[in-house]
């Protein structure tokens, strides 16, 4: 059994290539999103498709397809818009994209909320009617399968896709079983002999600093968000064709990762200090000074240590937050109770995100306490 709509998506892309339609690729700015985008981009370029734009949301735009970005690319319409690693909860945005003249394909692996965005071709093994047995692929795993579907007669690019899919599958903490096991085992072998100057540069930096290479360390570097550039730094590095430039970026990323570690530790101490004064079934904390991209890491550390669902947010008029939880919790389900006050929410059972207006924060908190008590 195939993943639902995978061939439909591939056929639509092939048609776009044949008709010289404009294609826009739009992905999440974490490593899974970036890897998905690069795989799709390289596959479509190989077919000689007309990719007119690659975009990622800026940090302040939060997670998901956003209306501001759609306004920014509106002038490219009509075009085929392919979203990776998000989109499944962007009901309004997908509708708007259609109004602007974009046909939308969503390649996502996040949990399905009560409905699907439409109109769109949706590839997500978690959707109803999908008979594919394995549901835990990363978005980059889906993008890899899509690429294989697109490039049926040529396997030459396969290795270059597999290494990215492997890194992303690990980075997204997908269970390493079934399809993922195959992707990770084959892909990691390829990392060391990668043709990508960016990957070679990362290996070189780690060998120099530690004498050995750990994949998790490489991934944590590739997940660093840089707000100053149009593209996430990992995208620039992984698609860089110049060896010298790649080495400069890798060195700089390493420096940033050291600084990031210090900031993460500060937030962690801050949260744990606040926790000492409370005894609640969840951790729910926010601060104006915290950097949103660091909160996922902090929340995982606390969730693992205390076995509670951890909600951390950047405190401003529009609250944006992340959630991490250990096995046995489903935080997306917990948030469904507050669907009426949340602006956006979604993700995985144990790793998710939300945004809402500050005036609704107290109510959200109370709903969660009630749900978990
Ligand atoms: Mn993902």
Distance 309 CA to ligand 1 centre (A): 19
pLDDT reported for residue 227: 66
pLDDT reported for residue 299: 97
Distance 57 CA to ligand 1 centre (A): 14
Distance 299 CA to ligand 1 centre (A): 17
Distance 296 CA to ligand 1 centre (A): 13
Q: What is the rounded average pLDDT for all residues in the chain?
A: 94
Give the confidence band of 335 by pLDDT, cuts at 50, 70, 90.
very high
Count of the separate structural domains present in the chain: 2
Distance 336 CA to ligand 1 centre (A): 20
The pLDDT tens digits of the residues spanning 158-178 come to 999 999 999 999 999 999 999
pLDDT reported for residue 95: 98
337 part of a folded domain: yes
Distance 16 CA to ligand 1 centre (A): 26
Question: Does position 28 have pLDDT exceeding 70, yes or no?
Answer: yes
Distance 251 CA to ligand 1 centre (A): 26
Q: What is the domain-level CATH number for residue 24?
A: 3.90.1640.30
Among 111, 127, 152, where does a domain finish? 152
Distance 273 CA to ligand 1 centre (A): 31
Nearest partner of 38 among 216, 184, 198, judged by Cα: 198
74 part of a folded domain: yes
Distance 362 CA to ligand 1 centre (A): 29
pLDDT reported for residue 229: 84
Distance 179 CA to ligand 1 centre (A): 16
Between residues 214 and 319, the one the model is more confident about: 319
pLDDT reported for residue 213: 78
15 part of a folded domain: yes
Nearest partner of 132 among 2, 238, 243, judged by Cα: 2
Distance 30 CA to ligand 1 centre (A): 8
Among 118, 134, 152, where does a domain finish? 152
Q: What is the domain-level CATH number for residue 352?
A: 3.10.310.30
Other beta carbons less than 10 A from residue 245's beta carbon:
15
Distance 149 CA to ligand 1 centre (A): 20
pLDDT reported for residue 19: 98
Kindly tell me the burial class for residue 303, based on how many C-beta atoms sit within 10 Å of its own C-beta (0-12, 13-18, 19 or more). Answer: buried
Question: Does position 137 have pLDDT exceeding 80, yes or no?
Answer: yes
241 part of a folded domain: no
83 part of a folded domain: yes
Distance 169 CA to ligand 1 centre (A): 8
187 part of a folded domain: no
Domain range spanning residue 64? 6-152
268 part of a folded domain: no
Give the confidence band of 52 by pLDDT, cuts at 50, 70, 90.
very high
Question: Does position 58 have pLDDT exceeding 90, yes or no?
Answer: no
Mean pLDDT over residues 331-345, rounded?
A: 95
The pLDDT tens digits of the residues spanning 249-273 come to 999 999 998 999 999 999 999 999 9
Distance 33 CA to ligand 1 centre (A): 6
Question: Does position 62 have pLDDT exceeding 90, yes or no?
Answer: no
172 part of a folded domain: no
The pLDDT tens digits of the residues spanning 207-229 come to 888 887 788 888 888 988 776 78
pLDDT reported for residue 3: 98
Distance 32 CA to ligand 1 centre (A): 5
The pLDDT tens digits of the residues spanning 189-205 come to 999 999 999 999 999 99
Among 152, 183, 218, where does a domain finish? 152
Calculate the CA 112 to chain-centre distance.
15
What distance in Å separates the CA atoms of residue 270 and residue 265, rounded to the nearest whole number?
9
């Amino acid at each position: 059994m195939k993943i639902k709509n995978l061939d439909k998506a591939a056929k639509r892309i092939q048609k776009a290539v044949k008709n010289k339609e404009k294609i826009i690729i739009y992905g999440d700015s974490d490593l899974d999103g970036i890897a998905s985008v690069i795989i799709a981009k390289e596959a479509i370029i190989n077919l000689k498709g007309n990719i007119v734009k690659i975009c990622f949301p800026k940090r302040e735009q939060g997670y998901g397809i956003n209306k501001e970005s759609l306004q920014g690319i509106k002038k490219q319409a009509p075009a085929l818009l392919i979203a990776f690693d998000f989109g499944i909860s962007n009901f309004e945005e997908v509708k708007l994209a259609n109004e602007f003249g974009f046909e939308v394909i969503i390649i996502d692996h996040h949990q399905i909320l009560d409905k699907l965005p439409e109109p769109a071709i949706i590839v997500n093994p978690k959707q109803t009617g999908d008979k594919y047995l394995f549901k835990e692929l990363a978005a980059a795993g889906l993008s890899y399968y899509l690429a294989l579907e697109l490039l049926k007669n040529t396997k030459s690019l396969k290795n270059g896709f597999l290494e990215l899919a492997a890194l992303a599958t690990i980075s997204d903490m997908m269970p390493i079983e079934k399809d993922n096991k195959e992707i990770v085992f084959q892909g990691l072998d390829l990392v060391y002999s990668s043709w990508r100057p960016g990957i070679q540069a990362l290996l070189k930096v780690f060998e120099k600093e530690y004498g050995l290479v750990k994949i998790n360390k490489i991934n944590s570097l590739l997940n660093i968000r840089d707000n100053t550039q149009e593209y996430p730094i990992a995208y620039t590095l992984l698609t860089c064709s110049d060896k010298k430039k790649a080495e400069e970026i890798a060195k700089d990323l390493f420096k940033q990762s050291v600084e990031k570690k210090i900031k993460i530790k500060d937030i962690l101490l801050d949260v744990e200090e606040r926790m000492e004064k409370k005894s609640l079934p969840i951790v729910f904390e926010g601060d104006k000074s915290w950097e949103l991209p660091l909160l996922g890491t902090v929340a995982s550390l606390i969730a693992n240590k205390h076995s509670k669902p951890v909600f951390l947010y950047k405190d401003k008029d529009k609250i944006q937050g992340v959630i991490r939880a250990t096995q046995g919790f489903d935080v997306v389900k917990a948030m469904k109770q507050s669907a009426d006050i949340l602006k956006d929410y979604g993700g995985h059972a144990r790793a998710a995100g939300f945004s809402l207006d500050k005036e609704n924060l107290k109510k959200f908190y109370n709903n969660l306490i009630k749900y978990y008590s």
